[in-house]
Structure 1
């Protein structure tokens, strides 16, 4: 959806960090340089030595906004809220921590937020939590943003839970967060910042929200995670030679994310673990069940990201956001078609967990969405990865007769596309027989999203001769020359204009 920049991996004492101060009507970021800070020798350092690796190894770069708040006292209480903008998931936590905030730092490194929000009054004078978070910024790979105290309102947090959480989860979440004042304040700050600061709005009752108690899972010290190479090889950060790398035989991005989370935060609840063991045992004993399930999951797209993209509304609609929306609908179609094979593959399982999954994938649960898609989208429309193929799939995704203006625009687009191919063929002949009579120059018509149609010529085709002046926008890439002509640019513009 959108990318956040990561801090460089230079030494922390020479880094200048920008803090954003946001008001309801003012989103101009005030940047201040953070002077090099001398570490307090009176407390143990929570940051690991710099090893060249930017952070704990991740399955993928995710856009996670975290809000953090603390009580004051000998045994401080820390509230945290993580909102994953890629998977539409919000996690609330409240931890009774020590003076070194080791549990809080562990939580931050497990979730790896791209941005950490903290109340502005914690920066002047610096609270101990602020100093420790600041000290660990480079390891976490986060940007620190200061937020005015008025955003950290418990009542606002409950309003967001009421309006954004799944309807069936609202009461359970409210009961879970009762008495957890700081966690509720943090979800208020995180969602208000996403709304007003980032210009993103979640649709009503579309956010997968849960409270994660500190009990029920094991806390592994950050230094232990590194020394045992649980998720990253110490010598080669890109190597798969670590526990997560050896275990990761998952076929979907969702499975890889869940596995990583469980490696870093192993469950300790016997009932949940026994349910999982029973599912593994069933898969182990029934090979047909195992291989059928893997085959069904093989073509799965990233369902978390697809569904999130559909429920997050951009503050401003543009041609690009509209094209992305069509892409997401096509991806949703492919995802819906992938659910039925999972339902069929899990038939005959004796596991309670696998049976629950099978019930979720039942045809009657998928049918309403399938009918809405089939009503408008052509049956043979599939998601494509090549730019030109994806553009064509997007152009012809909607059935004929749904919108008359769209049908007319598509006809014109088809003509303009055919003109572009024809122009390339004619130009190839013109160069071959007129410009360079004694040489054969082969042109390959290519397409990318930024330039639309362009031509690619191998440098060996020219044999040291100058490129004819008819070509413009010339780019030389290794053994190829990429270029366009004025006529081709006009036809690109014509095709693009009719699809807007």
Structure 2
């Protein structure tokens, strides 16, 4: 059986240097890699640092995007975005024009930190490669070139079967039927996360969805800039833009959703009507509105917390363990903030608010609360100051659990020596 290893080399395309990842083999026989085998030690190229001036409205998120295309008069472009901060993967396949305006718009909406492209597209440069290269400064992204072996439809289908929520697998398979390029892109993106970033997702723990090009409005990059939708033209740090004026959200999740909806407004009438009903109810019931806002003030970025809890580094460090404890403490605080939201939405009549309240019902929260209370001291709270957080982390675990943790630590040390 061939032994596969990852190599990383520098690649130059028209005087621009990019990182090139390839797979080499000890002999000429190639074999598919099992998910349980050891990952490579390759590291990705460093993307441009994001600054508040150049990326107003964009959080410092690590989003990996894989892009692949067919060749023809009306090219079909597949995209897959894997957000390592929120634990979400989005697939899309677009029938684009020769200017690839829809593809660039999709990249603008998600603003990936790294864009993965087949290495053969760089020499000679394909038209899509050249257009993406021109937009790198606007997108604040970096390009990583990958060997074509990363794009494999069978591998993409396997990842979807293994990583998607178990109840969503069949629905996703139906959605991606016939979308060959999107499936190939999810294979490349997740394989790069595993081999290049040394991170893995547990089984059935990744939120995967297919996002069709229909159902939303397309706004090109020049229009986004000229209308100052997310950034002021005169002063990039100013809040005097549409996003800055509207962004009165209390949670990071709300801010992300607002930015996405500004850049990619919905056109689905049923969804819009549902949102209008919720807006009307909150606007006419001031007590519910202010109680809901008060309840949301205590919420932390649960998307990031849950993702950091499930993403597994292939080479754990002490810092990873400390951060894991921090995440559990933050999760404890978030769970405690759900009950006030449930109470605030009592009396809601519209479908959207009723569904949100049902998700916050005690029967859905109590099992998680009991698991946390069984290990973490009840008076432990999340602290923003480093020293306070260190003290909370030190005394977070209940005394009754200490002996169990010490036993696990000893067994881990023995196992690592063997």
Query: TM-score category by the smaller chain?
Result: 0.7 to 0.9
Residues 93-492 of structure 1 correspond to what in structure 2 (within 5 A)? 93-404=92-403
2:21 aligned with 1:21: yes
Looking at structure 1, the residues matched to 328 and 154 of structure 2 have their Cα atoms a distance apart, in angstroms, of 36
Contact 1:24-1:196 within 8 A present in 2 as well: no
Contact 2:54-2:236 within 8 A present in 1 as well: no
Looking at structure 1, the residues matched to 52 and 326 of structure 2 have their Cα atoms a distance apart, in angstroms, of 35
CA deviation after TM superposition for structure 1 residue 120, in Å: 1.2
TM-score by structure 2 length? 0.86
Contact 1:18-1:30 within 8 A present in 2 as well: no
2:20 counterpart SS class = coil
Contact 2:282-2:289 within 8 A present in 1 as well: yes
1:383 counterpart SS class = coil
CA pair 122-292 structure 1, distance change in 2 beyond 3 A: same
Gaps of 5+ in 2: 1-12, 26-39, 46-50, 407-418
C-alpha distance after superposition, 1:423-478 (max 9, x if no partner): xxxxxxxxxxxxxxxxxxxxxxxxxxxxxxxxxxxxxxxxxxxxxxxxxxxxxxxx
Contact 1:229-1:242 within 8 A present in 2 as well: yes
TM-score by structure 1 length? 0.72
Looking at structure 2, the residues matched to 53 and 387 of structure 1 have their Cα atoms a distance apart, in angstroms, of 24
Looking at structure 2, the residues matched to 320 and 261 of structure 1 have their Cα atoms a distance apart, in angstroms, of 32
- The equivalent of 1:458 in structure 2 is none
Segment drifting more, 86-95 vs 58-67: 58-67
Looking at structure 2, the residues matched to 183 and 87 of structure 1 have their Cα atoms a distance apart, in angstroms, of 20
C-alpha distance after superposition, 1:109-135 (max 9, x if no partner): 111100000111111221111111112
Contact 1:65-1:84 within 8 A present in 2 as well: yes
Contact 2:20-2:119 within 8 A present in 1 as well: no
Looking at structure 2, the residues matched to 24 and 349 of structure 1 have their Cα atoms a distance apart, in angstroms, of 59
Which has the larger Rg? 1
1:155 counterpart SS class = helix
2:400 counterpart SS class = coil
CA pair 121-16 structure 1, distance change in 2 beyond 3 A: closer
Contact 2:153-2:180 within 8 A present in 1 as well: yes
Looking at structure 1, the residues matched to 55 and 349 of structure 2 have their Cα atoms a distance apart, in angstroms, of 37
2:145 counterpart SS class = strand
Looking at structure 2, the residues matched to 397 and 15 of structure 1 have their Cα atoms a distance apart, in angstroms, of 54
CA deviation after TM superposition for structure 1 residue 14, in Å: 11
- The equivalent of 1:72 in structure 2 is 71
2:178 counterpart SS class = coil
Looking at structure 2, the residues matched to 18 and 398 of structure 1 have their Cα atoms a distance apart, in angstroms, of 46
C-alpha distance after superposition, 1:251-278 (max 9, x if no partner): 0000000000000000001000000000
Looking at structure 2, the residues matched to 30 and 170 of structure 1 have their Cα atoms a distance apart, in angstroms, of 30
Looking at structure 1, the residues matched to 197 and 388 of structure 2 have their Cα atoms a distance apart, in angstroms, of 32
CA pair 56-400 structure 1, distance change in 2 beyond 3 A: closer
Contact 1:54-1:141 within 8 A present in 2 as well: no
CA deviation after TM superposition for structure 1 residue 386, in Å: 1.2
Cα RMSD, aligned residues only = 2.1
Aligned residues: 376
CA deviation after TM superposition for structure 1 residue 404, in Å: 3.3
- Structure with the bigger RCO (C-alpha within 8 Å, sep 6+) is 2
Looking at structure 2, the residues matched to 53 and 255 of structure 1 have their Cα atoms a distance apart, in angstroms, of 19
CA deviation after TM superposition for structure 1 residue 148, in Å: 0.8
Looking at structure 1, the residues matched to 292 and 199 of structure 2 have their Cα atoms a distance apart, in angstroms, of 36
CA deviation after TM superposition for structure 1 residue 99, in Å: 0.8
Contact 1:54-1:138 within 8 A present in 2 as well: no
Looking at structure 1, the residues matched to 210 and 346 of structure 2 have their Cα atoms a distance apart, in angstroms, of 32
